[in-house]
Amino acid sequence: AQSVSQHNHHVILSEAASLELGCNYSYGGTVNLFWYVQYPGQHLQLLLKYFSGDPLVKGIKGFEAEFIKSKFSFNLRKPSVQWSDTAEYFCAVIEDNNDMRFGAGTRLTVKP
């Protein structure tokens, strides 16, 4: 069974700083990749997804992620974070056999 690793447990940034959250997975076959976000007091919601095609995908609120197949990575980026980006971020991977995994999550705190 595959695993999904999110390397950073808690990231603290100041507003306007750039963000990159790491996500690595172990499965070598075809995957569908997702980033979900959970804002304080809200339910988990989709940030962006990758199924195929252009490995650079754009999501809501200025977030983007790049799928690098050779590195088994799907890192999340944002050029300039805002206080409202404070949330917990989860990477998720679904294999072609429907096996699915979430990472442990990264808590992002943005200081105003």
Among 29, 43, 70, 112, binds another protein (CB under 8 A): 43
Does 1 contact another protein by CB under 8 A? yes
Residue carrying structure tokens 């699915």? 100
Contact of 99 with 4, CB cutoff 8 Å: no
Answer positive or negative: Cα dihedral of 4, 27, 76, 71.
positive
Among 29, 40, 98, 112, binds another protein (CB under 8 A): 98
Does 29 contact another protein by CB under 8 A? no
Contact of 33 with 93, CB cutoff 8 Å: yes
- Where along the sequence are the contacts to another protein (CB under 8 A)? 1, 4, 6, 9, 32, 34, 36, 43-46, 49, 51, 90, 92, 94, 98, 100-105
